[in-house]
Structure 1
Amino acid sequence: MLTKAPHLFDDATRVTAGDSRWQGRTSPDYWAFVGPFGGFTAATILRALLEHPQRAGDPLSLTVNYCAPIAEGAFDLDVRLVKANRSTQHWCVELSQDGSEPATLATAVFAERRPSWSHQQATMPDARPFEEIKPYPKVAAAWVNQYDFRFIEGAVDLRGGTQAQPATAFSKLWIGDRVPRKIDCLSLMAMSDAFFARIFHVKGELVPIGTVSLTTYFHADADDLAKEDVTRVLGAADAKIFHKSFSDQSGELWSPSGRLLATTTQMTYFKA
């Protein structure tokens, strides 16, 4: 049930405007093993852009390059509008702490979406209803426990050690906030990075990993998402290759009605 109180996700990703830079802060509720959940960082950057007085339109894409570890505590966001035309805006955001070199570099495109011919070539994967699937159990990483993961296919089992043969990298699952929150572009941004690392699925064990570069494309604007009026999405993720310490990942986020809301790709570092 939705509540009127501020959601934990909104509190965690809150930003404040300064003279030349915006400020945010890491959250223990969205902490991974050695730093903040990458989706939290990306959503915080996107919030700064959404609240910027020069922003026009809705997010079309956001690319986040994770250059260095982000320490617990406050961080600065240097937000710059690089180029704007009648239809799109191009932004650059640098995240840094204590005046050091940027830990994260991001570029974003916002667009004024206008009515046009529409056609969705892709079809939503088959999925058992959300209510028929048990929630994924809580784990040591705090950020995972903020979500309600319900695996339809490809649930990762980290209890049995290394598998004799590599398993599939594919997984399909429902994703929602554990405390329900209506899906908007901020939650889509975070959830696009909420798929577990593909190597966990393939090897069946936890190995050191980190997202190096993440790009998310939005296929619905604020009005579209308001009409969907949902608190969960169907996610599907896969990988094609693991080679010399890096692997790819691709993902899709669907509304329960069958609308493709966002697609995402990333490159991940692993040590195995």
Structure 2
Amino acid sequence: MLTKTPHLFDDATQVTAGDSRWQGKTSEDYWAFVGPFGGATAATILRALIDHPQRSGDPLSLTVNYCAPIAAGAFDLDVRLVKANRSTQHWCVEMTQGGSDVATLATAVFAERRPSWSHPQASFPGAKPYEQTLPYAKVAAAWVKQYDFRFVEGEPNFEGTPTSAPPNAYSKLWIGDRVPRKIDALSLVAMSDAFFGRVFHARRTLVPFGTVSLTTYFHADAVDLAAEDITRVLAVADAKIFHKSYGDQNGELWSPSGRLLATTTQIAYFKA
């Protein structure tokens, strides 16, 4: 059942409008080990753009570069419309704290999506039903507790011993808010960063880790998501390489009915 009170996710990603400079604040409920959950930061930025009076269309892509550590507390968002035409808008958002240097730099594209030829090239990965999959709750970070993770394949083992041949970093899992919330664009961008670091899977242990750059591509607009009317997604994630302190990650977010809603790519720092 969907909550009728303000959802913790909406509280965590709320913004206050300004002229060009908007305000937000970090949330203890979406805190990671040394800073805010990157997905919540990305969703806050996207909310400022969606709420902006000059915004037209639906999000097509969002890239967030995490330039410096984000401290607990308030932050400013400098929101600028860089270029617009009849079909697309290009935005830039800079996050600062206390008047200091930029902590996060984001770019976004919004688009007026019109009816056209459509072909779903990717195949729905399929999975054991959500109701038949056990919840996963083995990570202490606050933000993890706000989600319901149910691994179908590739459940992480953080207590294993690294081997000379790392295990496959692929995972397939159901992701939903612990307190159910209807999936929208904000959900998708946050959940695109909700995959545990692929290096954790490969090394079988938690290591120092941080997202450097995250890009999410949206393949469904607000009308599409309203028609799906869902509170969880089927997610798959994998990595292609870990090399000299950086590793990639790619993921897909699917509706239970088999519609591809979003894809994501990420580059992250690790120490191992």
- TM-score, normalised on structure 1? 0.98
Q: 1:12 matched to which residue of 2?
A: 12
Q: 2:102 aligns to what SS in structure 1?
A: coil
Q: 2:48 matched to which residue of 1?
A: 48
Deviation at 1:65, TM superposition (A): 0.4
Q: 1:120 matched to which residue of 2?
A: 120
| Contact 1:138–1:144, Cα closer than 8 Å, also in 2 | no
Unaligned runs of 5+ in 1: none
Q: 2:11 aligns to what SS in structure 1?
A: helix
RMSD: 0.9
Distance 2:140 2:123 in 1: 35
Deviation at 1:17, TM superposition (A): 1.0
Distance 2:20 2:214 in 1: 26
Deviation at 1:126, TM superposition (A): 2.1
Distance 2:71 2:3 in 1: 31
| Contact 1:138–1:145, Cα closer than 8 Å, also in 2 | no
Q: 1:252 matched to which residue of 2?
A: 252
Deviation at 1:158, TM superposition (A): 1.0
Q: 2:30 matched to which residue of 1?
A: 30
Q: 1:145 matched to which residue of 2?
A: 145
What are the residue-to-residue correspondences of 1:46-125 with 2, within 5 Å? 46-125=46-125
What are the residue-to-residue correspondences of 1:186-197 with 2, within 5 Å? 186-197=186-197
Deviation at 1:163, TM superposition (A): 4.0
Distance 2:20 2:50 in 1: 16
Q: 2:243 matched to which residue of 1?
A: 243
Distance 1:2 1:21 in 2: 33
- TM-score, normalised on structure 2? 0.98
| Contact 1:88–1:110, Cα closer than 8 Å, also in 2 | yes
Aligned residues: 272
Distance 2:163 2:156 in 1: 12
Q: Percent identity?
A: 79
Unaligned runs of 5+ in 2: none
Deviations 1:96-115 (CA, angstroms, capped at 9, x unpaired)? 00000100000000000011
Distance 2:107 2:139 in 1: 32
